[in-house]
Structure 1
């Protein structure tokens, strides 16, 4: 589990095929204090398992599923990536609950200045936009962001200068693809409501009327 608060940038120094997937060699641009063999590290928002950790360098295995769901396969050696180590129970939850399981890729459709901020508009497949709500949370390349607006096939986020400076988002250009993870809470709510509507399980007080009353539905 992660929070979407990037700890630092890393560099892809090695990339090679392996068993239908790939092996990446990564170097963190910050100290990996108390590294543990087999710990989870989010790389551009994708949860991967670190091994052969030596200093700030480590290797990860990228499965065929991860290559299909994310843009990791398009990375070239020398590319910079966003890194976040797994959340500890004693850590601050500065962003939101992020699983590191990327749902899909989205494309940057527009980037424009908005005062001291930068407004990004991304495309998103229609099947996922039902989980995106105005002022809700979304993860882009591992970065926890707040949704400004959304419609049937796209959404926008306003990004502060600090985030642009310390993550790879600052280097994004129109047409670039990113890894997107929608808020997992929406998925659980949808599943609970679907099971209730089908008559399965115990009856719950959580229903569309309850959600609308408490501001979760418009």
Structure 2
């Protein structure tokens, strides 16, 4: 399990078929990296298959390549990194499983004072789970939805998030991974059972 609090931004160093090698610099994440460990890359839960002091490798299955932005990933792309939540870690953000529901596309980015407002287009299938002032994970970042409309939603990015995530490298037309709030999916299932 993750919380959506990004600890580092890595870079895809190489892609070999479905194997991705990612750069690593944050000591807090380095100490948690070992073979078999879970790690979130842009919100997608992967298993570490190999590692060194400066990078690690993960491997994607076809479903991951289809459902996430990793199917279109390129060498040099910036990725948000979060190690899995440990028993003594502080719980911040919200419950993020690392199970991507789909992708959204950056519609627009507007500077507003010292922050940025990102607008995303999203499928109707996923937009029903997104509510204003609700939680959402965008590329693994725990964010609060400012406004939710049919097939579109907005979030605000503060300077710290801008400086410490991959959001500063995004532009209109870019694809991002989305994990909607799992509680909304459970509620829907319970309501539909009755």
TM-score (norm 2): 0.95
Q: Which residue of 1 aligns with 2:185?
A: 187
Instruction: Quickly say closer, same or farther: Cα 1:103–1:34, change in 2 above 3 A.
Output: closer
**Of residues 27, 30, 38 in structure 1, which corresponds to 2:26?**
30
- Give the structure with higher Rg (CA): 1
1:51 deviates by 1.8
**Aligned partners of 2:66, 2:169: CA distance in 1, in Å?**
23
Task: Kindly indicate whether structure 1 or structure 2 has the higher relative contact order, using CA contacts under 8 Å at least 6 residues apart.
Answer: 2
Q: Which residue of 2 aligns with 1:122?
A: 120
Q: Which residue of 2 aligns with 1:4?
A: 4
SS of equivalent residue, structure 2 residue 20? strand
Deviations 1:68-120 (A, max 9, x none): 01111222222221110001122112110001011111011111012221101
1:74 equivalent in alignment to 2:72: yes
Count of aligned positions? 192
1:36 deviates by 2.6
Which sections of structure 1, spanning at least 5 residues, go unmatched?
A: 198-218
**Does the aligned pair in 2 maintain the 1:12–1:76 contact within 8 Å?**
yes
Instruction: Quickly say closer, same or farther: Cα 1:23–1:164, change in 2 above 3 A.
Output: same
Q: Which residue of 1 aligns with 2:173?
A: 175
Structure 1 residues 41-120: aligned runs within 5 Å: 41-120=39-118
Runs of 4 or more above 4 Å deviation: none
